Amino acid sequence: MMNKYTCNFQSQPQRNQVEQLINNAIRFHKQVNLPQAERNYKQALRMQPKNAYVLNLPGVLRSQKGDHKEGEKLIKKAIKIDSKVADYHSNPGLCLLQEGKPEEAEKVFKKALRVDPEFVPALFGPGNVSLRLNKPGDAIDYFRKVIDIDPRYLPACNNLGNLYRELRQYDETLKISNKVLELKPDFTEA
């Protein structure tokens, strides 16, 4: 089932077909079967080239495959269609961060936070930017905000624990590591 994002389909059969393609693509994407995910995304895009949700996801995939420019281009098309979705605004920040442009990424994440100040990925992104820019205090603040909003968000818990360990704040490291192990007992990095 497609999520809450704006979808403008011309007919119910087409909606069902695009929904199925996107759901399959997401499943393949989560399984890291990127070629199969990409095939499904491309089919959905051919059917709905002006659908923001359908544009956003292949943009993320393209960036994950290393084609950050194309990924960013698709995501920006999604933003032009629907500028009220924080996820769309946050994703170009991920592309820029992966391109090694943390300052630019930070600006993009802040735009996403203006759309939704509690959007977890948009808060997590600046935490990672702060790590790259060697601003541990800012990173801690962002990761803590993420955990306050979503205590089960494992990436923020993990990054915060690693940061505390680097800062030799072992009591805090232990608290976070225990929290991570509560969430995911088989997580070997905690």
79: its two tokens = 């933003």
13: its two tokens = 């059969």
| pLDDT digits 0-9 by tens, 91-141 | 888 888 888 899 999 999 999 999 999 999 889 999 999 999 999 999 999
Residues 6+ apart with CB under 8 A from 137: none
Which residue positions in the chain have pLDDT lower than 50? 1-6
CATH number at residue 174: 1.25.40.10
Task: Quote the CA–CA distance of 80 and 103 in Å, as a whole number.
Answer: 23
107: its two tokens = 């600006």
In a domain, 98, yes or no: no
The pLDDT of residue 164: 94
The pLDDT of residue 8: 53
State whether 120 and 62 are in the same domain.
no
State whether 75 and 15 are in the same domain.
yes
125 and 97 in contact (C-beta within 8 Å)?
Answer: yes
State whether 26 and 74 are in the same domain.
yes
Residues 6+ apart with CB under 8 A from 163: 131, 136, 139, 140, 143
DSSP-assigned states of every residue in 42-72: HHHHHH-TT-HHHHHHHHHHHHHTT-HHHHH
Based on the structure, what is the number of domains in the chain? 2
In a domain, 43, yes or no: yes
In a domain, 144, yes or no: yes
State whether 22 and 70 are in the same domain.
yes
In a domain, 33, yes or no: yes
Residue at which a domain ends, from 64, 82, 100 = 82
The pLDDT of residue 145: 95
In a domain, 54, yes or no: yes
The pLDDT of residue 190: 57
